[in-house]
Structure 1
Amino acid sequence: MKLEVLEKEGFYHIYNRGINGCLIFENDENKKFFLKQFSKYLLGKISIFGYCLMDNHFHLIIRLNDEEKIVTQAFSNFFNSYVKAFNKEIDRTGSLFEKHFKRIKLKDEEYLKQLILYVHLNPKHHLDLKFEEYKYSSYQAFVSNKETKIEREEVLRLFGGLQNFVFCHNQKNDILTEKHTFE
């Protein structure tokens, strides 16, 4: 599979999962450390439009603020730092993630909106958890007034405001719930 080339100012869905479906997060501390390292290595080089960390995979929605080589190296450093710490903590060796992180360039604003909904609803889809309460997604950062590193204002503008942002999430959640009920 040929990897999408990252371009400055481009929007991307970045995701990966554990090799052979293994866990990449064994506990909340792992998820907190992942987010801390993500900020350490990538903040400023990218803007964050959404994320969700599940036990065996993650999703990031970003825009590049820097050149491809700089951002790619920052991702490499970030993933290496996380894997080394994770492996040391649980006394394992070797690769944790599938070969390369996947990236899909987002073509338009509608795709971006749908992806934000998809990423935030991952806890519902995979674990049947309430997405609004899930701690390791960016959803709560959008609906709170707390300081955040997420591009809150830009995303809420994209959805036409906070009320519509919440409405769209609830509507998509209802569709998922209804679909799950009839399966």
Structure 2
Amino acid sequence: MQKIETLESGNYYHIYNRGINSENLFKENRNHEYFLMLYTKHIDPIAETLAWCLLKNHFHLLVRIKTFEEILKSHKDYEIKKIIPAHQSFGNLFNAYTKAINKGYNRHGALFERPFKRKLISNESYLRSVIKYIHYNPVNHGFCEHPIEYPWSSYSACISEKSTKLKREKVISLFENIENLKSSHNEKENFTSLEEFLNL
């Protein structure tokens, strides 16, 4: 039986999943927008986001789970009783999204495979590889020729100066500077070994 990684505070995780039976999770643009709205509601309070990408039938997220002290700092005193385990916050996100899709498209039952996949990221080299892998996912699946062309990922936010909740400074620092980040994303890469590790 597959061991399920516990989401522990202070650690980085690559979180990913697909639609059950490869069903499309995102049928139109408003679905992406609604998922991101729910993500802000359920995940922003308990995790920092370094990268994300939403494809038609799957998604990828790179997050750092906040410590209890960090979560407390962002909560008002009367909200403290609402703090729940990180895996439950992700579960609430997926459940809320499933309910909306079921209602909007006259379907029923599970939408995502269970349990959702997660991999601990243990070093900066692995962090860089996963960031690039996530941003290159639309290229690898033939949706575009460069990550900048795909609207439903964090790459544009990484190289923009616009306000963002993404941990842009952390991402840039992992590549040393924004020029290295861009040049790295201009080079195609073989992600076979990473995909084998992730069981994709």
Structure 1 residue 5 and structure 2 residue 6: aligned?
Answer: yes
Report the Cα offset of residue 44 of structure 1.
2.5
What is the CA–CA distance in structure 2 between the aligned matches of 1:27 and 1:128, rounded to whole Å?
Answer: 15
What does residue 181 of structure 1 align with?
none
Report the Cα offset of residue 76 of structure 1.
1.3
TM-score with structure 2 setting the length: 0.84
Q: Is the 8 A contact 1:48 1:150 kept in 2?
A: yes
Structure 1 residue 43 and structure 2 residue 44: aligned?
Answer: yes
Structure 1 residue 135 and structure 2 residue 135: aligned?
Answer: no
What is the CA–CA distance in structure 1 between the aligned matches of 2:183 and 2:190, rounded to whole Å?
Answer: 10
Q: How much identity, in percent, do the aligned residues show?
A: 41
What is the CA–CA distance in structure 2 between the aligned matches of 1:56 and 1:104, rounded to whole Å?
Answer: 19
Deviations 1:52-87 (A, max 9, x none): 000000000000004595211211111111110011
Report the Cα offset of residue 128 of structure 1.
4.0
Q: Which amino acid aligns with 2:62?
A: I
Distance 1:47 1:92, change over 3 A: same
Q: Which amino acid aligns with 2:97?
A: Y
Q: Which amino acid aligns with 1:35?
A: L
Distance 1:66 1:74, change over 3 A: farther
What does residue 137 of structure 2 align with?
122
5+ unaligned residues in a row in structure 1: which ranges? 177-183
Report the Cα offset of residue 173 of structure 1.
5.8
Report the Cα offset of residue 172 of structure 1.
2.7
What is the CA–CA distance in structure 2 between the aligned matches of 1:43 and 1:175, rounded to whole Å?
Answer: 28
1:147 paired residue among 154, 158, 163: 163
What is the CA–CA distance in structure 1 between the aligned matches of 2:13 and 2:190, rounded to whole Å?
Answer: 27
What does residue 180 of structure 1 align with?
none
Q: What is the number of equivalent residue pairs in this alignment?
A: 176
What is the CA–CA distance in structure 2 between the aligned matches of 1:163 and 1:125, rounded to whole Å?
Answer: 23
> Alpha carbon RMSD of aligned pairs, Å?
1.8
Q: Secondary structure at the match of 2:122?
A: coil
Structure 1 residue 28 and structure 2 residue 29: aligned?
Answer: yes
Q: Is the 8 A contact 2:14 2:63 kept in 1?
A: yes
What is the CA–CA distance in structure 1 between the aligned matches of 2:126 and 2:18, rounded to whole Å?
Answer: 22
What does residue 196 of structure 2 align with?
none
After the TM superposition, which residues 1-183 of structure 1 pair with which residues of structure 2 at under 5 Å, given as runs?
1-66=2-67, 70-129=85-144, 130-172=146-188
5+ unaligned residues in a row in structure 2: which ranges? 69-82, 193-200
Q: Secondary structure at the match of 1:49?
A: strand
Q: Is the 8 A contact 2:147 2:185 kept in 1?
A: no
